C-alpha cells in the first residue's frame, strides 16, 4: 500500500497543533490500511520540531532552505507537487487552515487527485477513503465518497482529532534540497504581525465563562462578567460577540480567536459552530446552557442545560452570594 502523507504546518520554529492532529489520524488510518506514514516538512535549516515529528511517523521528508522557513504558497505548492508525483501517496492530509485552503485545491488541479475539504473524519471502506463533513452549521453530518483515483487529498478540520502520540516511532529523517526547475514565486512572506495582547490571557485561565449570540444585548455582558467574578473565572466569548464590538478580540475563543484548555468551560448562549468548538477541544469539562436543545454545542458538552441563560445566570449568582 502506498504511503499516507501528512503535510506538517509550522510557524516561528514550532509545529502547529493541527499537524499533530493530522499525524494522529494518519496513524489511525495506517493501522487499518497497513500503510506507512510519511510526514512532509518544508522549512529552514535545522528546524527544532523535526525530532518530535519523527517520533510520530515512519519517515520524515525534510526539504530544507531558508526560503521555506515561512509559508510561501507558490514555493510550497511546487515542492509538494514534485513530491506527490515522485512518491504517489495514497492519501495526503493537511489541516483545513490557511495553509490547507491554499494548497489543497491547487494540488488537486496540478496532480489530478480529487480533494475533500474541512473533513471531521476519514474512513476506509472497500480499500478507498470516504470522508465525513458537517453541513447546515454543524447540525448534520454527511459521508462522501471520491471518484476512483490513484491518490486523494484531504484537509482536516482543526480540533476534530486528538493530538496525542499514537504509537512509538523512530522515523527515518530524509533531508532534501529544494527541487530544481520550480515555477517563479509570485507571492512572498513579508512578516508576522502579532495581534496586540489584551488585559487578560484567556489561554491561561482554569475557568472560562463564555458568552455567545444568546446574550442578546451588550448591556447583558456585565451580568455574565459578575458571574465570572463570583466563580473566580475569566470572561470569554464566541465570534458574534466580538463582531458586534461587545467585547475586545482578546476575549474570543475559536479558530479566528484563541484555543483554550481550561479545567472548566462554561458556554452560555453559544450555538457551537465548528469554528468555536475547535477552540475548546482541550477543555477538561464543558458545561453548556442554550434554549435550543438541538444546538451543536451539546454534542461536545459534558453537561447541558436547555433553558434561558439569564435564568441560569441569576440562579447561580444567587447561590454564590449566599
For residue range 214-228, what is the model confidence (pLDDT) as tens digits?
A: 999 999 999 999 999
Q: Which residue has the cell 450555538?
A: 271
Beta bridge partners of 258: 253
**What does the alpha-carbon distance between residue 179 and residue 237 come to, in Å, rounded to a whole number?**
46
At residue 256, the pLDDT reads: 77
Phi/psi of residue 151, nearest 5 degrees:
-150, 165
Which one is the CATH code of 202-321: 3.40.50.1220, 3.20.20.220, 1.10.1060.10, 3.90.1150.10? 3.40.50.1220
At residue 59, the pLDDT reads: 95
E strand or H helix that includes residue 129 = strand 128-135
CA proximity to 24, closest of 115, 173, 158? 158
Give me 176's grid cell: 532534501
Positions of CATH 3.40.50.620 in the chain = 4-176
Give me 216's grid cell: 442578546
Positions of CATH 3.40.50.1220 in the chain = 202-321
Kindly give the parts of the chain with pLDDT less than 50.
Answer: none
CB within 8 Å of 33: residues ≥ 6 apart: 1, 4, 90, 124, 127
Q: Which residue has the cell 490500511?
A: 33
Q: Which fold has domain 4-176?
A: Rossmann fold (3.40.50)
CB within 8 Å of 108: residues ≥ 6 apart: 114, 115, 153
DSSP H helices, 158-237, are: 221-231
Q: How many CA atoms lie within 13 A of 321 on its CB side?
A: 8
For residue range 108-147, what is the model confidence (pLDDT) as tens digits?
A: 999 999 999 999 899 999 889 999 998 776 667 889 999 9
294 CA to centre of own chain: 24
- For β-strands 10-11 and 14-15, DSSP reports them as antiparallel
Q: Which residue has the cell 480540533?
A: 159
**What does the alpha-carbon distance between residue 154 and residue 148 come to, in Å, rounded to a whole number?**
14
The radius of gyration of the chain from alpha carbons, rounded to an integer in Å, stands at 22
Phi/psi of residue 146, nearest 5 degrees:
-105, 160
Q: Which residue has the cell 465548528?
A: 274
Q: How many residues does the chain have?
A: 322
At residue 60, the pLDDT reads: 96
Sheet order of strands, 264-268 included: 234-237, 207-211, 264-268, 285-289, 303-305
Amino acid at each position: 500500500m502506498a504511503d499516507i502523507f501528512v503535510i506538517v504546518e509550522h510557524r516561528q520554529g514550532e509545529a502547529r497543533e493541527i499537524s499533530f492532529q493530522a499525524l494522529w489520524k494518519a496513524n489511525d488510518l495506517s493501522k487499518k490500511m497497513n500503510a506507512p506514514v510519511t510526514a512532509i516538512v518544508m522549512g529552514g535549516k535545522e528546524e527544532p520540531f523535526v525530532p518530535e515529528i519523527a517520533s510520530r511517523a515512519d519517515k520524515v521528508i525534510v526539504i530544507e532552505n531558508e526560503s521555506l522557513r515561512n509559508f510561501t504558497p507558490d514555493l510550497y505548492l511546487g515542492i509538494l507537487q514534485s513530491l506527490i508525483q515522485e512518491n504517489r501517496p495514497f492519501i495526503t492530509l493537511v489541516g483545513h487552515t490557511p495553509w490547507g485552503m491554499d494548497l489543497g485545491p491547487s494540488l488537486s488541479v496540478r496532480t489530478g487527485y480529487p480533494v475533500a475539504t474541512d473533513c471531521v473524519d476519514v474512513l476506509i471502506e472497500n480499500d478507498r477513503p470516504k470522508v465525513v463533513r458537517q453541513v447546515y452549521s454543524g447540525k448534520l453530518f454527511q459521508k462522501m465518497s471520491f471518484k476512483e483515483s490513484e491518490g486523494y487529498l484531504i484537509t482536516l478540520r482543526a480540533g476534530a482529532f486528538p493530538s496525542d502520540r499514537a504509537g512509538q516511532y523512530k522515523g527515518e529523517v530524509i533531508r532534501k534540497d529544494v527541487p530544481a526547475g520550480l515555477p517563479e514565486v509570485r507571492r512572498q512572506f513579508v512578516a508576522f504581525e502579532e495581534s496586540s495582547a489584551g488585559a487578560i490571557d484567556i489561554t491561561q485561565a482554569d475557568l472560562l465563562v463564555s458568552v455567545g449570540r444568546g446574550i442578546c444585548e451588550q448591556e447583558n455582558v456585565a451580568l455574565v462578567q459578575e458571574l465570572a467574578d463570583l466563580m473566580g473565572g475569566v470572561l470569554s466569548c464566541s465570534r458574534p460577540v466580538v463582531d458586534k464590538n461587545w467585547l475586545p478580540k482578546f476575549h474570543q475563543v475559536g479558530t479566528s480567536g484563541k484555543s483554550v484548555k481550561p479545567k472548566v468551560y462554561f458556554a452560555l448562549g453559544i450555538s457551537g459552530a465548528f469554528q468555536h468548538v475547535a477552540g475548546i477541544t482541550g477543555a477538561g469539562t464543558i458545561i453548556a446552557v442554550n434554549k435550543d436543545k438541538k444546538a451543536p454545542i451539546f454534542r461536545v458538552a459534558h453537561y447541558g442545560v436547555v433553558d434561558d441563560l439569564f435564568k441560569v445566570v441569576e440562579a447561580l449568582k444567587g447561590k454564590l452570594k449566599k
